[in-house]
């Protein structure tokens, strides 16, 4: 067994002997973070909420995201940072920044756009939510075009494009733009009429 594993085990055992001791928790948490054991330290923090240092965990996750060369993985790490900010720090402004960074890093990460729009809607910033929705619609249209050019299956992108059209229709109704709402609903039906009622029910439930 190498020395680092021995140190981790020693810190773990010390904390298990004193499970309410902040210093013991911090030593165990810190050594996990130093070794990039992100999921392990998140589980530890969730099991011991009163002792958790979420700011440290988010800072480490941010560092790992910034260093990550693989864009889908980087986007997932930024999403994780946003989730932690939203759930544990109750800071939607920070969470929104992370979700938007996740979308910028890998635009095909639909969850990042959805989370961003959700928080913008909670703030009442419908116009910015619509701009973000327009951007994602453009991303999906480009993805569909690439698939058709290469002969790949574009069904998933087409379905999501229809979902986005319905979501745009819902935003138009919120903004009292009846004509726009009808136009986007028609576009959604043109893109994918097979799943139209299921898509519409799901979007309507959000608004």
The CA–CA distances, whole Å, from 197 to 137, 151, 157 equal 20, 28, 18
pLDDT at 45 exceeding the cut of 80 = yes
pLDDT at 181 exceeding the cut of 60 = no
The pLDDT assigned to 184 comes to 61
For the residues 113-117, what does the mean pLDDT come to? Answer: 93
Phi first, then psi: give them for residue 175, nearest 5 degrees. -90, 10
139 band by pLDDT with thresholds 50, 70 and 90: confident
Mean pLDDT of the chain: 85
Q: What single string gives the DSSP state of each residue in 100-134?
A: HHHHHH-TT-HHHHHHHHHHHHHHT-HHHHHHHHH
**Residue of 198 and 133 predicted with greater confidence:** 133
pLDDT at 158 exceeding the cut of 60 = yes
For the residues 157-171, what does the mean pLDDT come to? Answer: 72
| Residue where the block lists tokens 């299921």 | 198
Q: Which of 82-96, 153-167, 185-199 has the highest mean pLDDT?
A: 82-96
**Residue of 156 and 32 predicted with greater confidence:** 32
């Amino acid at each position: 067994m190498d020395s680092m594993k021995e140190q981790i085990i020693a810190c773990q055992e010390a904390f298990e002997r004193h499970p309410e001791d902040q210093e013991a928790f911090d030593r165990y948490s810190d050594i996990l973070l130093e070794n990039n054991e992100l999921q392990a330290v998140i589980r530890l923090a969730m099991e011991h909420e009163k002792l958790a240092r979420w700011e440290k965990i988010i800072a480490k996750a941010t560092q790992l995201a910034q260093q990550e060369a693989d864009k889908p993985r980087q986007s997932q790490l930024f999403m994780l940072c946003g989730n932690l900010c939203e759930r544990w720090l109750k800071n939607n402004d920070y969470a929104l920044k992370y979700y938007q960074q996740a979308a910028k890093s890998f635009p095909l990460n639909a969850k990042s756009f959805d989370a961003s729009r959700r928080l913008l809607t909670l703030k009442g910033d419908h116009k910015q939510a619509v701009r973000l929705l327009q951007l994602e619609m453009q991303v999906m249209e480009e993805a569909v075009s690439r698939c058709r050019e290469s002969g790949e299956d574009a069904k998933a992108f087409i379905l999501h494009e229809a979902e986005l059209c319905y979501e745009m229709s819902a935003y138009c109704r919120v903004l009292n733009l009846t004509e726009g709402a009808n136009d986007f609903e028609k576009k959604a039906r043109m893109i994918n009429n097979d799943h139209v009622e299921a898509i519409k029910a799901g979007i309507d439930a959000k608004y």
